[in-house]
A = this chain, B = another copy of it.
């Protein structure tokens, strides 16, 4: 607990000169004392989407000091708009406003907004400051930490981007009260992921608290966000540019990205695809004899308890999966690399899964 009113947790992501704080609490949007210490200069561009703008944009802007030059950009909402064209709209707005290298971008929205604004900041004049104000559970536990920014390409997710760290992240739990239940579940997929890859105690805590999480009880949600961010921050601090251990954060994502790309971005939510992808990774881990049948069933039950899918999409063939998975960024040369479970609470990266075993799993995995 810190002494700052309304702030329930403060974490530090330790990355040397690129370190930054994550403030977690209620009523943080619109608090000028929390935002202004992290502005690089007098020019501020707030970028949000059409869903979030009517809810929080005015509140955020009203909380900025009067002597700043504040502009806003409102983009369409949805993963299908996570494109270089939308990022160009941000660049155009910056250039039309004559914003220089000491401007600051503020990303107000979910992961799509955070990734695009972060990338816009990384590339504008070869790099300017940005601040994340994530308004979905998924972005609060995932894109707040790690500095991964970017956009999708018709041939693959997040194929264009940069590693670019924010100056600060403001997590206002109050924004979750306006989040649809389906999006809350999608965020819980990433929360569950942190338990799977590093922390069996946290997994047990999630089993015990899933109902409270789905009711968005503030203390329980704050705890889940803080623990998730801490696990991710630890991993990112070890491996900022994803050369090694950071790949573990991709549990469920190799299958999940294939599902999203095949279904067309925005039809399955990212978290839903990750939920199904984690179920597939657990099932493959069990088929390889790495985890027990009981642990596999416990994993699928936890994913389902968050109201997430554990099946693959109807009509998506094994070849559809493999074609997309070959484009995965973790692959080295032409070898597929997968994140799997050695145990509940312990993930590993493997490039040694026999291709026929993978194909056989994909062939017989339940569709719906």
Taken together as a complex, chains A and B put the C-alpha atoms of A69 and B148 apart, in Å, by 28
Do A153 and B91 touch across chains, with their CB atoms under 8 A apart?
A: yes
Interface size class of A (residues with CB under 8 A): 35 or more
Kindly list chain B residues whose C-beta atoms are within 8 Å of the C-beta of A11: none
Do A125 and B329 touch across chains, with their CB atoms under 8 A apart?
A: yes
Most chain B Cβ neighbours within 10 Å, of A124, A127, A160: A160
What copy number does this chain have within its complex?
2
Contact A126-B163, Cβ < 8 Å, known A332-B41, A332-B102, A333-B100: yes
Which one of B92, B159, B332 contacts A125 once the chains associate, using CB atoms below 8 Å? B159
Which one of B95, B124, B127, B332 contacts A241 once the chains associate, using CB atoms below 8 Å? B127
Q: Restricting to A283-342, which residues have a CB under 8 Å from any CB of B?
A: 326-333
Taken together as a complex, chains A and B put the C-alpha atoms of A153 and B93 apart, in Å, by 12
Separation in Å of the A170 CB from the closest CB of chain B? 24
Contact A159-B124, Cβ < 8 Å, known A42-B333, A332-B41: yes
Closest B residue to A43 by CB, please name it.
Answer: B333
Question: Can you spell out 30 A-B residue pairs with CB atoms less than 8 angstroms apart?
Answer: A42-B333, A84-B88, A91-B153, A91-B160, A92-B153, A92-B155, A95-B155, A95-B156, A96-B155, A98-B327, A100-B329, A100-B332, A101-B330, A102-B332, A102-B333, A122-B162, A123-B123, A123-B150, A123-B160, A124-B159, A125-B159, A125-B329, A126-B148, A126-B149, A126-B150, A126-B242, A126-B329, A127-B162, A127-B241, A162-B162
